[in-house]
Chains A and B, each alone.
Chain A
Amino acid sequence: MSDVSDEDVERWSGAAGWSSAPELTAMQTLLWRAERHPVQSSTSTVVIDLDRAPDWDRLVAATEWGTRLVRRLRQRVVDPVVPTAAPTWADDPTFDLAYHLRREQVASREEMLVHAAQIALRPFDRTRPLWEGVLFEGLGGGEGAGGAAYVLKIHHALADPLGTVQLLSMLQSGQRAHTPRKPLGDEVVAPVEPDPVDLAVTGFRTGVASLPGTVRATVRRVGLAATRPQLVVGSTLRYGASVRRLLTQAAPPSPELSPRTGRMWSFLTLDAPLEPLRSVARLGGGTLDDAAVALVLGGLRRYHARRDSTVAELPVGVRVSLDRADDLGNRFAGALISGPLSIEDPVDRVAAVRGEVLSLHTERALEVLDVAAPLLNRMPSFVGASALRTAEAPDAFVLTLPGPPHRRYMAGAEVQGMYVLGPLPGAALTVCLVTCGDTACIGVNVDASAVADLAGLAECLAEEVAAFAG
């Protein structure tokens, strides 16, 4: 009974190898340096509903194990004094689990969500590992055993929402019972505590060493421009046109979803049966991502109708794979589409969303931020921060994430739902749909200053879930 299941071992050894690059990627660096929490935040929060309060000591021990398995959870980001190099991960010699994991008592799930939003709004201590876990007990309102919830706040540099869900799915157990002698990864030699000045100097040296190559590449590019001006001018103009379309051609933001301050987060969660969502997606020729966007648009359509607004379309932020369209490739770009509010039929709405999303693939500048990130990272951080702000913020971000396909347990408590609440970088709402078994767990972070009738919005979204379910 207490035997380690093969599946668990496989997952856990996967977790040990999870994210072990020594430096932040260019994109992570950009987000790290450009962060202005909470208005321009890279913090995601995961709310995990549990059927009972797990044994506290067991949860602490499991977390201790998890942080040893996944070293990143014990590491912090060290930034060079001047941005000549990417920030580096280094073991935190002062790591203290008690700083990162605590528990609180609440009277209801609603209260827990309010607390979770406040936790999310507080900035991280950027000199420590970038995560924080809180176990909330007493959700049943005092009746009987009652439920519990585990809230994990995590920084984008450590894990993006996809990585967070992956990580959690990997760390959770496939059985309720305790697994003794859980495997640990190979003892990694902790990197030498890097010095910010050294980092900057090394980065500068590398920069100087690669200078001849950079110069050669530049000369070659200038030479090409001189010998074949039409080609260079033409492709530059086309690229510029594509950037302009991406930045300006989505619908204007809805007046019903303003003014946004980005400083008042309010968390909502919804459950939707997955099968009907998938079948609507199929009928509309789209994917689950398209259906998720269509679902959110349907909710917003109801909300706008309720408030007698005649907005026909609004900008929605979606994630597009830069590899093949329907693959879960590694390279993604965020982009805006015009989401239709005028389509009543969910199937037709999915088809319309599908068309908008696929149309993005004609834009050569889709990966512009990926391309620009290394350059922006050499500049003072406010440059990157303003580059991120150049893009018109959408009314809603929508993201779909694959969660665990089977039942999972945390320290003996069954996971009943896993909701990701993303940040609000300029949007009125951020919606993440996580597939958990046969349920879609939908987490909605709402800018409470932009939505006049929060309860109304929650009702509208729930009505739309019902409409999708048939």
Chain B
Amino acid sequence: MSGLSTAVTDAIAAIEAGPQGPSVGAFFDLDGTLVAGYTAATFYGDRLKGRDVSPAEFLRTVVTAVDGELGGDPTRIAHVAFSAMRGESEEAFADLGERLFRSKIAGTIRRESRALVLAHQRAGHTVAVASAATKYQIAPVARDLGVEHLVCTRLVVEDGQFTGATDGPMLWGRHKASGVRAFAREHAVDLAQSYGYGNGYEDVAFLSSVGHPTALNPHRDLRAAAARLGWPALDLSDPVGGSLLAVGRTAAALAGMNAGVGLGLAYGLARGDLHEGRNAAIRLATHLPMAIAGVSMNVLHQERLWTHRPAIFVANHQSSLDIPVLGRLLERDFTIVAKKEARWDPRAVVGSVVIDPAWIDRSDSESARATLDGVVERIRSGTSLMIFPEGTRSATPVLGPFRKGAFHLAAQAGVPVVPVVLRNTGELMRRSSLVLNPGVVDVCVLEPETDWSVDDMSERIAALRTKFEETLARWPA
């Protein structure tokens, strides 16, 4: 299961079959195309929440927005917003952009848009985001997608502060089109061979500048125009949002997890075997909540989870869902390493009773080493270890750098490393979200790697990380 719709697979095949190299451009609109929804709305929502927006400014914004919808000048709303930013620090605004990206916008990047971007990157095309938004909205998204070029609206900054004016026109409608054409001239991009993706009615001029326009999740007016103009329309699935039902199911799932833990431990106590009790608790605590939340798994090479135990399981980390998912995969006889500060985190307490993590004190290297020695001992005696080598959850499916700890442990304990690639846990449960959405988690267990030693460790880690990346980019059938 590739997880991509047939239409997207076909589009990617067409890109692969078409001309390659940097003279071919691929231009992506941001709002509604690369990401679902409007990044500007996220920014404005934050502004409403955090800082004071005067009733007059709010009213002006609403009236301008409604007028833009009713056939007035739709770019005026942006200019109202830009002039309200006068005097604000550019640096603070850029930081806000990063913060909102991590907390909100990252979760709205469409998986299939990401696949399209990647397909163009593999073809060596010159990929750019072409948007009326500002770089503070676009840059984090573009960086995450590995897109270097931005064709966007620029704001005038003087002495580190916004003046409230734009540098040149707002790149909306015809101005976006001419921005793209100017970019093509500068970068020797052949527009007749290039691709464009947009969703709004204002994108027609931009799309008509390229030889291969695609209306991506188009608004109804663009859809009508695309039909008339003979342009393909491509409908991508949106990242699932937290529906009320999902919220209810999440609560039930949490209750199920606790019930599972309780039942398992009770069973162990009754049998007088805490070890078996723990394993029963893991099974119940992972199966119950995932069943209640409507999350199932599609696992490739499940057998590799059992051939090399005890082992160190390494996985990429995007979501709080990763832990129950891995718990359900590994089923029994495993533990994790956690930092000492997390010990009294109320969410961890229940879990820690079940899997008895090795608590590590990062501030005290002496005691940390002692703990790790203890861990090595536990591994040798049959308990596998589960580690996220990225160290922290990433906001998007893009891999962070791998830390070496897990691999040192593998070398010391003399056990193999089993790589587990998790694809879409971040989509079912966003990074900062407490809501779990129903869906199928795609899991691929890679070939276990044995014989770790300090000598070639760095190269092998890099090679393994590349394997993760490749698996995420081209999900094996």
Check A362–B191 contact: CB distance below 8 A: no
Check A242–B71 contact: CB distance below 8 A: yes
With contacts A240-B71, A285-B208 known, is A352 near B178, CB below 8 A? Answer: yes
Check B230–A324 contact: CB distance below 8 A: yes
A219 CB within 8 Å of chain B: no
Chain B residue with minimal CB distance to A324? B228
Min C-beta distance of B156 to chain A, whole Å: 20
Chain B residue with minimal CB distance to A348? B181
Check B71–A248 contact: CB distance below 8 A: yes
Interface residues of B in 220-262 (CB under 8 A from A): 221-222, 224-225, 228-230
A325: chain B residues within 8 A (beta carbon): 228-230
Check B204–A355 contact: CB distance below 8 A: yes
**Residue in B70, B73, B192, B208 whose beta carbon sits within 8 Å of that of A355 in the complex:** B208
B183 CB within 8 Å of chain A: no
What 0/1 pattern do residues 240 to 251 of A give for CB contact below 8 A with B?
111111001100
B191: chain A residues within 8 A (beta carbon): 285, 351
B164 CB within 8 Å of chain A: no
**Residue in A238, A242, A351, A361 whose beta carbon sits within 8 Å of that of B229 in the complex:** A361
**A248 CA to B209 CA, complexed, in Å:** 25
Chain B residue with minimal CB distance to A286? B208
B211: chain A residues within 8 A (beta carbon): 285
Check B225–A358 contact: CB distance below 8 A: yes
**A338 CA to B70 CA, complexed, in Å:** 20
**Residue in A241, A285, A361, A364 whose beta carbon sits within 8 Å of that of B70 in the complex:** A241
A237 CB within 8 Å of chain B: yes
Main SS at interface, chain A: helix
Check B205–A358 contact: CB distance below 8 A: yes
A354 CB within 8 Å of chain B: yes
B173 CB within 8 Å of chain A: yes
How large, as a class, is the contact surface on chain A? 20 to 34
B87 CB within 8 Å of chain A: no
Check A243–B204 contact: CB distance below 8 A: no
Check B204–A362 contact: CB distance below 8 A: yes
With contacts A325-B230, A361-B224, A362-B201 known, is A355 near B71, CB below 8 A? Answer: no
Interface residues of B in 113-158 (CB under 8 A from A): none
Min C-beta distance of A382 to chain B, whole Å: 26
Min C-beta distance of B126 to chain A, whole Å: 18
**A361 CA to B73 CA, complexed, in Å:** 18
Check B174–A352 contact: CB distance below 8 A: yes
With contacts A324-B230, A361-B225, A361-B229 known, is A354 near B208, CB below 8 A? Answer: yes
Interface centre among A238, A249, A343, A358 (most CB of B within 10 A): A358
B468 CB within 8 Å of chain A: no
**A241 CA to B72 CA, complexed, in Å:** 8
A241: chain B residues within 8 A (beta carbon): 69-71
**A159 CA to B145 CA, complexed, in Å:** 57
How large, as a class, is the contact surface on chain B? 20 to 34
Chain A residue with minimal CB distance to B204? A359
Interface residues of A in 223-250 (CB under 8 A from B): 237-238, 240-245, 248-249
**Residue in A243, A352, A361 whose beta carbon sits within 8 Å of that of B228 in the complex:** A361
A370: chain B residues within 8 A (beta carbon): none
Chain A residue with minimal CB distance to B226? A361
**A358 CA to B174 CA, complexed, in Å:** 11
B177: chain A residues within 8 A (beta carbon): 351-352, 355
**A236 CA to B370 CA, complexed, in Å:** 73
B206 CB within 8 Å of chain A: yes
**A358 CA to B202 CA, complexed, in Å:** 10
Check B209–A355 contact: CB distance below 8 A: yes
Check B225–A351 contact: CB distance below 8 A: no
Min C-beta distance of B219 to chain A, whole Å: 8
Chain B residue with minimal CB distance to A337? B174
What 0/1 pattern do residues 318 to 348 of A give for CB contact below 8 A with B?
0000011100000000000010100100001
Min C-beta distance of B404 to chain A, whole Å: 53
Chain B residue with minimal CB distance to A320? B228
With contacts A243-B71, A285-B191 known, is A364 near B221, CB below 8 A? Answer: yes
Chain A residue with minimal CB distance to B223? A362
A340: chain B residues within 8 A (beta carbon): 174
What 0/1 pattern do residues 422 to 452 of B give for CB contact below 8 A with A?
0000000000000000000000000000000
Min C-beta distance of A469 to chain B, whole Å: 22
Check A355–B205 contact: CB distance below 8 A: yes
Min C-beta distance of B80 to chain A, whole Å: 18
Min C-beta distance of A325 to chain B, whole Å: 5
Min C-beta distance of B63 to chain A, whole Å: 15
Check A244–B205 contact: CB distance below 8 A: no
A23 CB within 8 Å of chain B: no
Check A355–B206 contact: CB distance below 8 A: yes
Check A359–B205 contact: CB distance below 8 A: yes
A64 CB within 8 Å of chain B: no
A351: chain B residues within 8 A (beta carbon): 177, 181, 191, 208-209
Min C-beta distance of B224 to chain A, whole Å: 7
Min C-beta distance of B196 to chain A, whole Å: 11
Min C-beta distance of A14 to chain B, whole Å: 29
Min C-beta distance of B205 to chain A, whole Å: 3
**A351 CA to B173 CA, complexed, in Å:** 13
With contacts A358-B208, A358-B225 known, is A244 near B201, CB below 8 A? Answer: no
Extra contacts besides A352-B205, A362-B222 (9): CB < 8 Å: A241-B69, A244-B70, A244-B72, A245-B71, A323-B228, A351-B177, A351-B209, A356-B205, A358-B225
18 contacts between A and B (CB under 8 A): A241-B70, A249-B73, A285-B191, A324-B230, A325-B228, A325-B230, A343-B178, A348-B181, A351-B177, A351-B181, A351-B208, A355-B174, A358-B225, A359-B174, A359-B201, A361-B225, A361-B229, A362-B201
